[in-house]
A and B are shown apart, each in its own frame.
Chain A
Amino acid sequence: MIRFDNVSKTYPKQNRPALRDVSLEIEKGEFVFLVGSSGSGKSTFLRLVLREERASHGTVHVLGKDLARLSNWKVPHMRRQLGTVFQDFRLLPNKTVAQNVAFAQEVIGKPRGEIRKAVPQVLDLVGLGGKEDRMPGELSGGEQQRVAIARAFVNRPMLLIADEPTGNLDPQTSVGIMKLLDRINRTGTTVIMATHDQNIVDQMRKRVIELEKGRLVRDQARGVYGYQH
């Protein structure tokens, strides 16, 4: 699903690489936590997977494709198989919940009939059935994140990337979001989640990848947030 081979990334005009010599592999259907302090390279890692950036050295394979060899015009097609969720939700404030979710299908040219069927289905899945016509501003943070997850999942991606999805939410709400991500993972979708939330990582007992100053310092199956040997 994802394979990094000796990947380094140095941003222009910066001496210290954001990621250095990282090699790892993530299999289909896995649930992976990406942990590390701010500036450890988590975001760079996710940006490389999304091919928002290209690796300076080494190769990144996502969904069996070498991203360095993927031509620019094929990138959108690759991203259609990826869902993304962020800390700040990134919803369109002037569209309703249903429109926000439908937007993800409209812009890739899905036929209208299919959209009309898929949107209520996925909103039911995330627990927002009946709130189709609400505006994002009327929803709580947790509900907004559910809309974002619905949007990320409506095209049934192979891989869901979540960048601190619970960063803006209280612990109670966060648990709900994690249950939802776990459910999505059980449908066979690979989930990579970058997080600072120790409780969540410790509770879930999933694979943990820890980065520190751009290096891979830990890759542990069924791990916890802090060091435990």
Chain B
Amino acid sequence: MRAQFVLSEIGVGLRRNLTMTFAVIVSVALSLALFGGALLMREQVSVMKDFWYDKVNVTIYLCNKNDAAAGGTCDKGAVTAQQKKEIEADLKKLDNIVEKVHHETADEAYKHYKEQYGDTAIASIITPDQMQESYRVKLKDPEKYKVVATAFAGRAGVHSVQDQRQTLENLFQMMRGMNVAALCVMALMLVIALMLIVNTVRVSAFSRRRETGIMRLVGASSFYIQMPFIMEAAVAGLLGGAVACVMLLVGRYFMIDAGLNLAQSMPLVNFIGWDAVITVLPLVVVIGLLMPSLAAAIALRKYLKV
């Protein structure tokens, strides 16, 4: 089999159906970009989980003197030294689930706040005595949050008990939701891409029925007759995969490093690196190559008699 002859046949075929080829490339590119994006999003969630779950605590916020007006458990004003001692003692008793307790004073809280928000307008008007004293409780098993909550919530001198994991969980939930949405759109695009490929094959099999008929008569193998069609789909798919790769790279750049610039506006979030993007690319290319080829091969069984 001569490569030059085959290649020229493929080129002719692709040019003959230029608009169709273009449509196939675009739809393959979009579906693969969404697929890669979904993979990266999942990677992002797991990176964030690893990073944050280690650091999150159950926080027991204590009453501040300003909370008195708000009533509730804080109606007596700021937490007393006696109340703090009781809380500490009770936390000690829970040592089967509590791993570590860190007492964050109002001054420390102020310092952390300053670190996080820097010289923003809000940071400059806040004073240390407005900050809440708190116990940062690290649990051996994060699932045991409820035990701590029932033990301390509603106690005099305790403002509230907050599971930070819960807030993160909401964020992750949202990201997983976006992930599912991306996968749904991907599935839809994939169906469109496959239908386009099937239709392209049908049209080009029809427009080349003379050639293929003669090929059949002179004894060309079915592989030889079908290969130009499959190669056409593969070339279109490969181009689509390449476009998808570019979209992923550019997408990461504009989301994280420039444009939206999430790296700067969300400094606490640990973003996936280029390496994560690059690991996804080969998968995208391989799928871009195989999926259209397979679709073409299946379409040929129906539309090309060999």
Contact = CB atoms under 8 A, between A and B. Distances in A.
B218 A155 contact: yes
The secondary structure that dominates the B interface is: helix
Contacts of A109: 1-2, 224
Contacts of A112: 2
A106 B2 contact: yes
A136 B95 CA distance: 95
Interface in A148-181: 151-152, 155
- 8 nearest A-B pairs in the assembled complex, by CB-CB distance: A80-B219, A79-B219, A107-B220, A104-B218, A76-B221, A76-B219, A109-B1, A84-B217
B220 A92 contact: no
B219 A106 contact: no
Contact of A79 (B211, B218, B224): B218
With a 10 A CB-CB cut-off, give which of A77, A78, A107 has the most chain B CB atoms.
A107
A73 B217 CA distance: 14
A90 B213 CA distance: 9
B228 to A, nearest CB: 11
Interface string B216-257: 111111101100000000000000000000000000000000
Interface size class on chain A is 20 to 34
A72 to B, nearest CB: 8
A73 B224 CA distance: 11
A73 B214 contact: no
Contacts of B222: 72-73, 76
Interface in B40-91: none
Nearest to A85: B217
Contacts of B216: 76, 79
Contacts, number: 55
A108 B2 contact: no
Contact of A80 (B1, B2, B214, B218): B218
B175 interface: no
Given A106-B2, A112-B2, A77 B219 contact: yes
Contacts of A80: 218-219
A90 B2 contact: no
B181 to A, nearest CB: 45
B219 A90 contact: no
14 contacts: A73-B221, A76-B222, A80-B218, A81-B219, A82-B219, A84-B217, A104-B218, A107-B215, A107-B220, A107-B224, A108-B220, A109-B1, A152-B218, A155-B219
B93 interface: no
Contacts of A155: 218-219
Contacts of B224: 76, 107-109
Nearest to B225: A107
Interface in A92-109: 92, 103-104, 106-109
Nearest to A100: B214
B211 A106 contact: no
Contacts of B210: 90, 92
B5 interface: yes
Nearest to A148: B214
Nearest to A80: B219
Interface in B108-162: none
Contacts of A151: 214, 218
Interface in A120-168: 151-152, 155
A50 B213 CA distance: 13
Interface string B200-214: 000000000011011
Contacts of B2: 106, 109, 112
A112 B224 CA distance: 17
B212 to A, nearest CB: 10
Nearest to B223: A73
B40 to A, nearest CB: 43
Given A73-B221, A76-B222, 9 more contacts: A72-B222, A76-B221, A79-B219, A80-B218, A80-B219, A90-B210, A103-B218, A152-B218, A155-B219
With a 10 A CB-CB cut-off, give which of A72, A90, A108, A151 has the most chain B CB atoms.
A108
Contacts of A103: 214, 218
A11 to B, nearest CB: 15
A173 B222 CA distance: 36
A160 to B, nearest CB: 12
With a 10 A CB-CB cut-off, give which of A92, A106, A152 has the most chain B CB atoms.
A106
A93 B34 CA distance: 44
Nearest to A72: B222
Contacts of B225: 107
Nearest to A79: B219
A92 B217 CA distance: 13
Contacts of A73: 221-222
